[in-house]
Amino acid sequence: MKRFQQCWMSWLGFVVLSGQVVLADDKLTPDQLTFFESKIRPVLSRECYSCHSAQVGQIKGGLWLDTADGSRTGGDSGPAIVPGNLDESLLWNAINHIDYSMPPRKKLSDEVLADFRTWIEMGAPDPRSQSEASVQSTISAADIEQGREFWSFQKPHAQTVPVSDSTWPMTDIDQFVLEKLASHDLRPAPDAEPAILLRRLCFDLVGLPPTPEQLKRFETDWQLDSQAALEKVVDELLAQPQFGERWGRHWLDVARFAESTGKELNLTFPHAWRYRDYVIDAFNSDKPYSQFLQEQIAGDLLPVKSDQQWASNLVATGFLALGPKTLTEKNPRQFELDLIDEQIDVTTRVMLGVSVACARCHDHKFDPIPQTDYYALAGIFRSMSTHFGTFETQQNRRATNLVVSPVADLGPLDKPISKQQLDDLRADLETKRAELRTAYQERRMQQTNPANAKGKPGAGIAQVGLLSTAIGMLEAKINSYDENGKPLTYCMAVQATAPVNARLLERGEFNQPAQEVERGFPQVLCEQPISISKKSTGRLEFARWVGSAENPLTARMMANRVWLHLFGNGIVRTPEDFGTTGTAPSHPELLDHLAIELMENNWSIKGLIRSLVLSRTYRTSSRFDQASFEKDPENNFLWRIEPKRLEAEVLRDSMLAISGKLDTDRPRGSLVAQAGQAIVRDGILVSAVATGEAKMNEPPRRFRAQNGGPMSGDNSLRPTIQSLDEPTNYRSVYLPIVRDNVPRSLDVFDFAESTMVIGQRETSNTPDQGLYFLNNKFVIEQADVMAKRLLDQSTNVNEQLEQAFVLAYGRPATSSELRAANSFYRSFRPTSSTSSTGAAKSGNALRGGRDQGLEKLSAVCQAIMASAEFRFLN
Amino acid sequence: MNTNGYRVIPNRRQMLQTISSGFGFLAFSSLATLAAADDQESSRNPLAPKAPHFPAKAKRVIFLCMRGGPSHLDTFDYKPELAKHDGKSGKFRGTVMKSPWEFQQNKKSGLWISELLPKIGAMSEELCLLRGMHTDQPVHPRAMTQLHTGNAQFVRPSLGAWTLYGLGSENASMPGFISISPAPGTAQNYGSAFLPAVYQGTTLGGSSRRAGAGQAAARFRGPQSDGQVPDIRNPRYDSKQQRQQLDFIQRLNGEKLKRDVDQPGVEGVIESYELAFRMQTAMPELMDVSNESQKTLDLYGIGNGPADSFGKQCLLARRFAESGVRFIEIEHGNWDTHNNMSNQLPNLCEQIDQPIAGLLTDLQRRDMLKDTLVVWAGEFGRTPFGQNGDGRDHNNKGFTTWMAGGGVKGGFSYGATDELGGEAVEGKCHIHDWHATMLHLLGLDHTQLTYRYAGRDFRLTDVAGNVLTDIVA
């Protein structure tokens, strides 16, 4: 109930106090003790424990009354007991049957009620404080000291570059690689052909195929001066906005980016796209990686020069807010602990490559990370509030407010509404609330006396569900405007709260608190102990330490990740585990060399990528060699470039690129933003009211009728439906990423699971992928459009076919490929009686001019897109 | 059979390359449908049925995978001592918690099974309980990986992939290994690792999760419905036209394979296209259950009840098994009952009880249970001590799985945990032993089923594994 009046955070930076643990007072007088034991405890035990005790029964409503701590923390609705304050004590409210009725269907005697009044008024003295266990770690200071000997827990060492008399190496990187190859009696592969190299560069750097013009230019330049040609094309690609879209997506994979909560109750995050754009922009502007990390952990606390920078920093902290959420969790404390756990897990694994979250329940089993280290970090993360949004429903008790951006950023369709419209919405809300109260009463009637209740059994319950969802959505809508009806700009973010420590929880159980642990960082990663001032939450310090050369892992982690995306495998093949359970680096010296280069070059990611792709190693062919394979089957030492299966986004974008349909402009927002606060169901978003976020470049067609636009002036709660399958031509990174509802074109090719940290995608090979290329409507449409493009360019069939290969493969076709294409083209009879209806349905581009040539060409184009060459990168 | 990877692969590769020299996949696929088991044939078509090492008890497997670690103490491992020690601090860290549910002894089999699973309990004459299970991994993803591949550390082929590699498939138009509703991000558990990609599991429902937690596979209404398997029909070309287009695609692929010499990925593409092509006819037919009687639907608990989703998946599994699919896995979850066990566990049990009893009955009626190995297992069990007042923690030291049909003793219990159910003490069965036993029932010697990769012969059971000969009927 309390959250009905949502207090929206002002940009002035409110401080929201999270529920703090109030420890039971140890010093009870004998009288107080006697009173509690004789008058209070028996009643609680008899009347309440069966539903509100973790030890005896359940914890309905998240409330457990069998400890002083639990009673004061309270459940979903708030603290059950506020010592000395009857009005604030919900237990008092409930036993008097005011808003709540407890025990259900029974009122306690006046005498008992009087006892409770006395007890609460005297300060609710309660001896049931839990014995404060002190959990001793089995990991000693000496263990930690010894743990620092492990390679990855030591800062990168400056390396002497090996020298060889071979003419092969062109850069320091090559020297390191050659040395390892030679020591394993291996030799590097010959250089790749220029066309293959260009294709590799285009896909690796911007995720799009080279155009025929690009290829021509590159080959001409290459003849003159290969090195200059390479440098030129690399610099061009790095400067394209498509670079950030490609490399930003790699980051979104590890940041488990998505635009909904996932899990049983899947609600949208309509503002998550701002984080997505922030990441893309950061890669495009080559933001120093250290700063990039700091902003994501503590953007709300970093000093800023402008409101713009502040707004951007707030959006960056969305990193901590957009994880999957179990909104249906009944226990608020459990929810808070799980939230913090997810934040610790993702932060340490993504940024440091160690899994600190393993120490939630017990000391880390493999790395020297005691359980106390986990709770030291938990204190830091506890001293903040996380604003992920969602709206309240009967099932969702965990909704939070969002943070208003200091800079308004409204889309062209974020239109203000009139004061009248706003008032109407408020009036509607009041009506709905009144209806809900009636529905509650009816439900109570049905429960207490089913025989006398009006209507069908269960109708009251269903009505309560519908109304509370409608109210939640309506509130969300009203809150998306300021007092004058002007749309507000929100972001998902975190905000600092008063600094608190966390208490260690035995076995990680919420009701087993042990000693309090001072806020701090994982000890094994700190050469010098780091102390955090009592007044500081420690998060800013943590962010600065993570994004610095002061810890041994950050630079290595990222250097390895960049390497992985370019060479197919990491130097450390477990990119998110640099601990003792991870694999050892194949080239430890090279990894340190790269990490130091990254740090010394102002943490420039573009700089690192540039030096890697300009190495001789990157230039080598992917050609197979039996003798080398037998010596090094995993290609640990890079005797060739590892062939890569292209990712889902790259395949979709490439089809659009070669058909000529690719829209390279960034759409504003996302389809999810357009739908606003909504429930996700089987590939559609159901919302009562759209929030007024901008329409995408291509507004939905099929569902426009139901949608009614963002603000049609219609205040009824008629649900609007937004399909997630809207056909769009913009880049795949901008497709809606809704948990458990990933678009087919991404899902079929191993898209990163958005509830997990994915450092390296899987590359499966399934008949489902075959079905996709053979039968999918989007694929067939692209083939049609591509065929049309080829027909427009030339009337000569041979030229059309040749051009199709150049577009798709980034190289001229071989003579046997051309022969095969020609023979297929000549013999294929596209139109048959059975296919004419199908063609009319799916082939928009073919409508009208039913040209055999066009249809034949489309079949050729589809086949080329379906072929393995299109899908693999050599 | 030919177990030398070095001999098989070049032949297969040459075969795949011949496409571009005009041999044509039409010829290949017609060859593939000839279920010949001779050496030459199996080297050509890696999915052709192969003879086992010795006469097999089981021809196929239905693996009911219970994700999350089901509590053996509240389902299949009856521990009267637990109740006696309820509330006491045991030798484990924590307070012993008895099972909140009663166990019932089946009159015929004599097995004690929890009241939560009355229908499976009634079928216990068919069950062979393995009560001495243990595994190395105490956390979910790693334990799940070990359950499927034997190894949590390295990427290794899954049990289903090994089975398919060992025996081939009886149905050339369907994947030989189907995984229904696997959890997201677990491709390794049905992957083929270094085995040729053709042996990896094909997922249904899990990868396309539009219908929520893996229920897409359960959305089957008939072949007309587009909702069942995405992109299963071509909107434009008839089968002959598409074959012609596919021959062209395969020629391009053959060209690439020739150029690249060794490219397992390309080989996988070529093979998966052929399977995809054939699946277009076979899959909709198999997923159309409109010809199943109401009685059969009821048998599986299909309807509006809690068993509906899993029931449909079990019915599909039977239909796939009948059609010759070698290995079918259904994943069901989430059994990770750290808290709220008193509500969760009855719900979970209700979801599977009728469907599994129905599946066993149906297989029996069709005389298929004798050579279909039905396996029920989670990645580990749970602790005798309570957690959060109403839950149990992970326990990899002792748990229960069971098998039925496929040549195992029915109404039989093998192995045991200690008096509280915490640790396996008798008839201990490690995952390697469990794998070895399953392969044995399939007529495969786990020490002989090897694949040469990078100069070493690999096997599912690494260098371990003992067949539990006592449970073989």
Segment B177-194, tens digit of pLDDT: 999 988 876 778 998 888
Checking A287-291 for CB contacts under 8 A at 24+ apart, the result is A288/A602, A288/A603, A288/A604, A289/A547, A289/A554, A289/A558, A289/A598, A289/A603, A289/A604, A289/A605, A290/A547, A290/A548, A290/A554, A290/A599, A290/A603, A291/A547, A291/A603
Question: φ and ψ at A514, to 5 degrees?
Answer: -115, -145
| Of the partner residues B203, B230, B265, the one whose CB lies closest to the CB of residue A645 | B265
Whether A868 sits inside 8 A of B272 (CB atoms) is no
Q: Which of A764, A784, A860 to mutate to test the interface with B (most CBs of B within 10 A)?
A: A764
Question: φ and ψ at A546, to 5 degrees?
Answer: -65, -45
The identity of residue A168, as a single letter, is W
Higher pLDDT, B85 or A457: B85
DSSP count for chain A of H helices, then E strands? 37, 11
Measure B311 CA to nearest chain A CA, in Å: 20
Measure A121 CA to nearest chain B CA, in Å: 31
Q: How many residues does chain A have?
A: 874
Whether B244 sits inside 8 A of A763 (CB atoms) is no
Whether A832 sits inside 8 A of B342 (CB atoms) is no
Q: How far is C-alpha A24 from the geometric centre of its chain's CA atoms? A: 39
Whether B265 sits inside 8 A of A829 (CB atoms) is no
Whether A830 sits inside 8 A of B208 (CB atoms) is no
Name residue, tokens 């082939």. Answer: A843
Q: Which of B207, B252, B456 to mutate to test the interface with A (most CBs of A within 10 A)?
A: B252
Whether A767 sits inside 8 A of B212 (CB atoms) is no
Whether B280 sits inside 8 A of A747 (CB atoms) is no
Whether A768 sits inside 8 A of B248 (CB atoms) is no
Q: Is A162 helix (H, G, I), strand (E, B) or coil?
A: coil
Whether A835 sits inside 8 A of B237 (CB atoms) is yes
Name residue, tokens 């009506």. Answer: A431
- Which residue on chain B is closest to A820 by alpha carbon? B248
Residues 389-418 of B with CB under 8 A from A: 389-390, 393
Whether B270 sits inside 8 A of A868 (CB atoms) is yes
pLDDT beyond 60 at B149: yes
Residues 252-271 of B with CB under 8 A from A: 252-253, 255-257, 260-263, 265-266, 268-270
Checking A209-214 for CB contacts under 8 A at 24+ apart, the result is A209/A654, A209/A657, A209/A658, A209/A807, A209/A808, A209/A810, A210/A810, A211/A807, A212/A803, A212/A806, A212/A807
Please, what are the averages of pLDDT over each run of 10 residues along chain A (874 residues)? 33 30 56 86 84 68 78 78 86 84 83 90 81 79 92 94 93 97 96 97 98 96 96 98 98 97 89 97 98 98 96 98 88 89 95 89 86 95 96 87 92 85 92 87 67 56 79 87 92 96 86 88 88 93 95 96 97 91 93 98 98 98 93 94 96 98 95 89 71 32 32 45 84 94 88 88 87 96 96 94 97 96 94 46 44 91 98 95
pLDDT class of B214 with cuts at 50, 70, 90: very low
Whether B185 sits inside 8 A of A753 (CB atoms) is yes
Name every residue whose Cβ is closer than 8 Å to that of residue A440 and which is 6 or more positions away in sequence: A464
Determine the Cα–Cα distance for residues B424 and B398; give it in Å rounded to an integer.
5
pLDDT of residue A282: 98
Measure A770 CA to nearest chain B CA, in Å: 5
| Of the partner residues B207, B261, B269, the one whose CB lies closest to the CB of residue A747 | B207
Asked if A653 contacts A732 with a C-beta cutoff of 8 angstroms, the reply is: yes
Whether A55 sits inside 8 A of B389 (CB atoms) is yes
Determine the Cα–Cα distance for residues A266 and B210; give it in Å rounded to an integer.
12
Whether A830 sits inside 8 A of B241 (CB atoms) is yes
Question: φ and ψ at B26, to 5 degrees?
Answer: -60, -45
Measure B201 CA to nearest chain A CA, in Å: 8
| Of the partner residues A510, A753, A767, the one whose CB lies closest to the CB of residue B279 | A767
* B229 chain-A contacts, CB cut-off 8 A: 768, 771
- B282 touches A: beta carbon within 8 Å: no
- Which residue on chain B is closest to A627 by alpha carbon? B454
Structure tokens at A271: 């503002």
| Of the partner residues A762, A824, A830, the one whose CB lies closest to the CB of residue B187 | A762
Tell which residue, B387, B453, B396, B459, has the closest CA to residue B424: B396
* A842 chain-B contacts, CB cut-off 8 A: 235-236
Q: How many residues does chain B have?
A: 473
pLDDT of residue A847: 42
| Of the partner residues A623, A775, A872, the one whose CB lies closest to the CB of residue B265 | A872
**B327-332 vs B177-180, strand pairing mode:** parallel
- B245 touches A: beta carbon within 8 Å: yes
Asked if A404 contacts A490 with a C-beta cutoff of 8 angstroms, the reply is: yes
| Of the partner residues A626, A780, A869, the one whose CB lies closest to the CB of residue B256 | A869
- B215 touches A: beta carbon within 8 Å: no
Determine the Cα–Cα distance for residues A767 and A230; give it in Å rounded to an integer.
38
> DSSP states of A741-805 as a string?
---HHHHTTTPPPTTS--SS------HHHHHHHHH-HHHHHHHHHHHHHHHHH-S-HHHHHHHHH
Question: φ and ψ at B459, to 5 degrees?
Answer: -140, 165
- Angle, helices B140-149 vs B159-167, to 10°: value is 10
pLDDT class of B322 with cuts at 50, 70, 90: very high
Q: Is the dihedral of CA B56, B62, B68, B69 positive or negative?
A: negative
Asked if B459 contacts B149 with a C-beta cutoff of 8 angstroms, the reply is: no
* A758 chain-B contacts, CB cut-off 8 A: 185
Task: Classify burial at A87, counting beta carbons within 10 Å of its beta carbon; exposed 0-12, middle 13-18, buried 19 or more.
Answer: exposed
Residues 32-61 of B with CB under 8 A from A: none
Measure A864 CA to nearest chain B CA, in Å: 7
Whether A769 sits inside 8 A of B454 (CB atoms) is no
| Of the partner residues B213, B252, B387, the one whose CB lies closest to the CB of residue A817 | B252
Q: Which H helix or E strand runs over A42? A: helix A41-43
| Of the partner residues A683, A756, A832, the one whose CB lies closest to the CB of residue B238 | A832
Whether A872 sits inside 8 A of B266 (CB atoms) is yes
* A863 chain-B contacts, CB cut-off 8 A: 245, 248-249, 252
Q: Which H helix or E strand runs over A295? A: helix A289-298
pLDDT beyond 60 at B229: yes
Measure B40 CA to nearest chain A CA, in Å: 24
Q: Is the dihedral of CA A211, A216, A218, A219 positive or negative?
A: positive
The identity of residue B455, as a single letter, is G
pLDDT of residue A448: 61
- Which residue on chain B is closest to A505 by alpha carbon? B388
pLDDT of residue A762: 81
- Which residue on chain B is closest to A60 by alpha carbon? B340
Asked if B46 contacts B31 with a C-beta cutoff of 8 angstroms, the reply is: no
* B270 chain-A contacts, CB cut-off 8 A: 868
pLDDT of residue A460: 64
β-strand partners of A720: A687
Asked if B13 contacts B267 with a C-beta cutoff of 8 angstroms, the reply is: yes
Tell which residue, A754, A758, A759, has the closest CA to residue A263: A754
Whether B202 sits inside 8 A of A334 (CB atoms) is no
For chain B, the three-class secondary structure string (H helix, E strand, C coil) is CCCCHHHHHHHHHHHHHHHHHCCCHHHHHHHHHCCCCCHHHHHHCCCCCCCCCCCCCCCEEEEEEECCCCCHHHCCCCCHHHHHCCCCECCCCCEECCCCCCEEECCCCCCEEECCCHHHHHCHHHEEEEEEEECCCCCHHHHHHHHHHCCCCCCCCCHHHHHHHHHCCCCCCCCCEEEECCCCCCHHHHCCCCCCHHHCCEEECCCCCCCCCCCHHHCCCCCCCCCCCCCCCCCCCCHHHHHHHHHHHHHHHHHHHHHHCCCHHHHHHHHHHHHHHHHHHHHHHHHCCCCCCHHHHHHCCCCCCCCHHHHHHHHHHHHHHHHCCCEEEEEECCCCCCCCHHHHHHHHHHHHHHHHHHHHHHHHHCCCHHHEEEEEEECCEEEEEECCCCCEEEECCCEEEEEECCCECCCEEECEECCCCCCEEECCEEHHHHHHHHHHHCCCCCCCCEEEECCEEEECCCCCCCCCHHHEC
Name every residue whose Cβ is closer than 8 Å to that of residue B217 and which is 6 or more positions away in sequence: B180, B181, B204, B205, B206, B312, B313, B316
DSSP summary character for residue A606: H
pLDDT of residue A464: 80
| Of the partner residues A767, A775, A871, the one whose CB lies closest to the CB of residue B202 | A767
pLDDT of residue B237: 94
- B347 touches A: beta carbon within 8 Å: no
| Of the partner residues B236, B241, B388, the one whose CB lies closest to the CB of residue A780 | B236
* CA dist A679 → A228, A273, A674, A766, A787 (Å): 54, 17, 13, 32, 40
Name every residue whose Cβ is closer than 8 Å to that of residue B294 and which is 6 or more positions away in sequence: none
